[in-house]
Amino acid sequence: MRRPIQLSVTAAALVLLTGCGAAAGAGGTPGTDSGTPAGPGPSEPPEPQFSFEHVSSCSQVEAAVQPYIEGLVPNEANVVDEWGVSCSWETADGELDPANIRSVSVQLAPVERDAEAPDPSLVAQTEGGVVIDDTWVTSTGGVAFSLTLGTAVAGATATTVWVPGVEATIGGGTWDGYPALDGPAAVEVVRGLITQT
């Protein structure tokens, strides 16, 4: 039985735009017959949808987080199945180096087509919480935010990246001598793992 994938709080709304028809002509100009149904007006282009269906194993995910998992070993419970992706790397048995007393995790879950984006306001009001301003995320109608606990030398960061079709939760952080898996870095990891459909 797979472990449940962490999900963040949700709330937000999509804005729908509607057009209006033209009025009938006057002064001898033929008008539209009121009994004739109006033709379809211009429609909004569909929002992009994303998928991780091409990810078949945690080995693929490992390649995306390679700089951040040096010195760590894969978790035996790692799984990729029809419910999503849950891959993590942790401290090896007998490890004595304090720099390797850490973990990195990547979780991807499918999102229904009409699902609402999470509301990051609660995280934004929390100490260590940040709403990530990323052009790619915004352009897709998505949202990204992270929460960091600790110091600049050693801290744990949990980042949620939500785009239509996929919700990702990345756990990492900052450790002395290793690249920081902070919010912006987590966005790039997710961007590299998903594809537009």
What pLDDT is attached to residue 48? Answer: 76
- pLDDT at site 3: 40
**What pTM value is reported for the model?**
0.75
Read off the tokens for 12.
């937000």
**What is the C-alpha separation between 70 and 61, in angstroms, rounded?**
14
Tokens linked to 84: 């999503």
pLDDT for 29: 44
Which residue ranges in the chain fall short of pLDDT 50?
1-34, 40
The residues, ordered by sequence, that sit 6+ positions from 44 with a Cβ below 8 Å of its Cβ are: 16, 17
> At residue 165, what are phi and psi to the nearest 5 degrees?
105, -25
